Structure 1
């Protein structure tokens, strides 16, 4: 009889394989953590500069999109930086601008700055290929502006869904008008009246102009006040310049707000 040779133990190889896998996982986690930490440092520096540039009371929210951040940093080209600030007051007595609750947004496409300069907060040479900026004007500001003419309360902003959204011949052409539905209350001779107004907003000289076509009251016997209400709601809202001086080119009605947006190309990250 021939004796069989016993199989060699594989424990050492198995342990080495597990060790290598664990090592690779740990290194991967450390690299990802380092990448996120580096991105956070860059976001902090941009937030500091944007607070000064946009004249905010506190740092805006900044997010550098794209992973890994390190690759973008080595190239000095950050593909998409999001900047968001909420509840921003805008006051300019000379221009008659007094808004207290704006949402300001800017999308920076291809921000170009060396990593060392970014981390040092030295962004005087940084440039942006394209900035898409927008502001949202909310119902609180609309209500306050309308109250300067006629007492309104609980005004709300909604798209007018009765009107079918028309698709422009060229989808790249910005929309300069949008259908709107305003709802709220007013006081007539001590009586609270609920109203619903339908019309349009239009982009006029960089501002939003409200034009009301029809008003429905819960008390039809008071229809004689409709022309007065229509005139009171014909408000022009000018938020001033968009982020980075972008030219307003489009308006939109959202649930709870009017949105004014535009874009600008080849601009510095901060004023030189």
Structure 2
């Protein structure tokens, strides 16, 4: 019995050493992977990398990790020719193939998501338009609120307003509730369900162009195709999926 107890103690001690070594190895690997992703994707900050699964060392020997979660505080993208902040960027990577130095990191599948605030969406909107939260009920239907001074919206579309008409329209504000969707190319579409009747005829189509527009977002990972957008209280939440996603190498 004494020999059995000694054997059990040895097994427990060796198991603890293996677990400790495994955790040390995974921490080093997470740091190296984060640096590789930052450099290969030209990011302004280093992402947080969390390698899932245990034991890690056996996954390394097989050159494939079950799951790797990546998160980043924010990146800069371009929308409508304006720089916008993309925040809360996350990616869940599966079947991640690596080499011994982490110089090559390729995910067989990746689920990604990111947020763009209403303030940044307003920067990229047509001149005079401000994009904001439409309330819980309308947000649940995928709608946002687009507002702006009527004269600014029309002049932003190249309409020259005679002084008399501009004086008559001065102070009038347009409020529209627009449904947000993604088109086939991944661009964001805003389409108002209705617009107010203008006191001056002939400007309805110009106003429609100021409120209905497409917004192409460049700078997101090219290998992840956005397929869903949700309107939240602070902005729009985009999500998508990709295969054979190259993060380094």
TM-score, structure 2 length as denominator? 0.70
Tell me the distance in 1 between the aligned counterparts of 2:39 and 2:139. Answer: 43
Q: Which has the larger displacement, 129-138 or 45-54? A: 129-138
Structure 2 counterpart of 1:233, from 196, 211, 216: 211
Give 1:158 shift: 6.7
Q: Distance in 2 between matches of 1:20 and 1:158?
A: 65
Aligned residue among 28, 38, 59 for 2:25:
38
Are 2:118 and 1:139 equivalent residues in the alignment? yes
Residue 130 of structure 1 aligns to a residue whose secondary structure is strand
1:141 is displaced (CA, Å) by: 1.5
Question: Paired residue for 2:39, among 35, 44, 52?
Answer: 52
| Cα distance between partner residues in 1 of 2:175 and 2:182 | 22
**Aligned counterparts of 2:56 and 2:119: Cα–Cα separation in 1:** 39
Unaligned runs of 5+ in 1: 1-11, 164-178, 216-221
Matched, 1:181 2:143: yes
**Partners of 2:14 and 2:119 in 1: how far apart?**
51
Partners of 1:77 and 1:63 in 2: how far apart? Answer: 15
CA deviation vs aligned residue, 1:145-182 (integer Å, no higher than 9, x gap): 23x422537x126776697xxxxxxxxxxxxxxx4221
| Number of aligned positions between the proteins | 223
Residues 191-232 of structure 1, C-alpha deviations (whole Å, 9 max, x = no match): 7x69561424132423111112136xxxxxx75389676543
CA distance in 2, matches of 1:269, 1:199: 33
Measured at CA, do residues 236 and 98 of structure 1 come closer, stay the same or move farther in structure 2, by a change above 3 Å? Answer: farther
CA distance in 2, matches of 1:242, 1:162: 24
Preserved CA contact (<8 Å) 1:242 1:261: no
**Of 48, 53, 64, which aligns to 1:61?**
48
d(CA) in 1 for partners of 2:45, 2:35: 9
Moved more, 129-138 or 61-70: 129-138
Query: After TM superposition, where is structure 1 displaced by more than 6 Å over at least 4 residues in a row?
Result: 19-23
Distance 1:162 1:103 in 2: 20
Q: In 2, are the aligned partners of 1:133 and 1:246 still within 8 Å (CA)?
A: no
Q: Which runs of 5+ in 2 are unaligned?
A: 151-169
CA deviation after TM superposition for structure 1 residue 259, in Å: 0.7
SS in 2 for 1:88: strand
Larger-Rg structure: 1
| TM-score w.r.t. length of structure 1 | 0.65
Relative to structure 1, the CA distance from residue 28 to residue 247 in structure 2 (aligned partners, 3 Å threshold; closer, same or farther) is: closer
The separation in 2 between residues aligned to 1:29 and 1:259, in whole angstroms, is: 42
> How far apart, CA to CA, are the structure 2 residues paired with 1:198 and 1:74?
52
Change (3 A) 1:208 1:111: same
| Aligned residue runs from structure 1 range 1-272, under 5 A | 27-91=14-78, 96=81, 98-114=83-99, 116-118=100-102, 123-124=103-104, 126-146=105-125, 148-152=126-130, 155-156=132-133, 179-183=141-145, 186-187=148-149, 189-190=170-171, 195=175, 197-214=177-194, 224=198, 231-240=209-218, 242-243=220-221, 245-246=222-223, 248=225, 250-255=227-232, 256-265=235-244, 267-271=245-249
C-alpha separation between the residues in 2 aligned to 1:141 and 1:39?
Answer: 37
| Distance of 1:269 and 1:185 partners within structure 2 | 39
